[in-house]
Homo-oligomer: A and B are copies of this chain.
Amino acid sequence: MEWGVCVRLEEEVVIMAGPCAVESEEQVIKTAKAVKESGADILRGGAFKPSTSPYHFRGLGKEGLELIALAKKETGLPVITEVMRPEDVELVAQYADILQIGARNMQNFPLLDEVGRIDKPVMLKRGLSAPIQEWLLSAEYILSQGNEKVILCERGIRTFETMTRNTMDVNAIPLIKKLSHLPIIADPSHGTGKWYLVTPVALASIAAGADGIMVEVHPDPDRALKDGPQSLTFENFEEMMARASIIAEAVGRRLKGRKERAKK
C-alpha cells in the first residue's frame, strides 16, 4: 500500500476502523474522531451496504458518501468504503481513498473489471467460500485491467462452526505473503462476528504477518443498524490498539498512527 494517501513503510501495520454502516452525521464524525484519537490510519464506513434481506438496512447511499466525506474533512483521515455496482465506481471513487469490494462480490467480475480501470487502491475481500486460488484470480481481474493497487482482505470463511459468524482463516495470511506481493489486511470483526473475539484475533493476525487490520467501531453497538454484535466500543478499540501496538513491535513492525499519537 504505497499509493496516494495510503503510502506506508513496509514495517507499518495499517489500522482501518469505523462503523459498519454510516448512519448519521453525529455517528460517523464521533466515531472518526475516536478512532483517530486511538491511532487509526483510515476511516471505514459503508454507504452502500449489502444486506442478506431486502427488508433490512441497505445503507444511506450517496448521502452516506457525503457524511463520510465530512468525517474525512473533520479528521483528516483517508476513507475506505464499499462499491457494489459497476456504474457506481466513478461516484464512489470521488469520495473514497480506497474502494472496497465486499466478500459477496469477490466474483462479481464486471465490478472487478470496472475497479481495474480506476487509479485508486481497491481492497478485495475474500469470498465466504473462496479458495485462496480463486481469490488471487479475482485480484488478477483488477490487476489485468491496469490497476496495480490491490489490497487483499481476509475476513473469515464459511464453515460448519456456528458459534462464530465465520471462521477467520489465519493460515491465509502467511500463505498470501508467500504466494503474492499484495498487502494483506485482516478483518476480525467479520472473521469472528463477536466483539469479544475481535481483539485476540486482531493480535493473532498481526502476529501471523498481516499488513493491517480492519475493525468495526460504533459509539453504541447495541443500537447499531448493522453488525452491532461484532462492533467495538471506543473503549474496546482503544484497548485493542494498545495491545496491537505491542504485538506489532514484537514482530518488528509498528502502528503508524499510534506512534504519532504517542509522540504528542
> Which residues of chain A have a CB within 8 Å of any CB of chain B?
50-55, 58, 84-87, 104-105, 107-110, 112, 127-129, 131-134, 137-138, 140-141, 144, 156-164, 167-175, 178, 191-192, 194, 196-197, 200-201, 203-209, 243, 246-247, 249-251
Please tell me which one of the listed residues B104, B105, B163 contacts residue A132 in the complex, with CB atoms under 8 A apart.
Answer: B163
Which of A87, A140, A163, A243 is the most central at the interface, judged by chain B CB atoms within 10 Å of its CB? A163
- CB-based nearest B residue for A48: B110
Interface pair A200/B209, CB less than 8 Å apart = yes
Interface pair A85/B107, CB less than 8 Å apart = no
Known: A87-B87, A108-B108. A163 touches B137 (CB 8 A): no
Interface pair B163/A131, CB less than 8 Å apart = yes
Interface pair A144/B55, CB less than 8 Å apart = yes
Please tell me which one of the listed residues B58, B171, B196, B247 contacts residue A168 in the complex, with CB atoms under 8 A apart.
Answer: B171
Please give, as numbers and ranges, the residues of chain B lying within 8 Å of A138 by CB-CB distance.
52
CA distance A228 to B206 in the complex (A): 27
* A88 CB, min distance to chain B CBs, angstroms: 8
Please give, as numbers and ranges, the residues of chain B lying within 8 Å of A174 by CB-CB distance.
196-197, 200-201
Please give, as numbers and ranges, the residues of chain B lying within 8 Å of A194 by CB-CB distance.
175
Known: A137-B54, A144-B55, A170-B168. A200 touches B207 (CB 8 A): yes
* A101 CB, min distance to chain B CBs, angstroms: 12
Interface pair A162/B159, CB less than 8 Å apart = no
Please give, as numbers and ranges, the residues of chain B lying within 8 Å of A87 by CB-CB distance.
86-87
Interface pair B158/A171, CB less than 8 Å apart = no
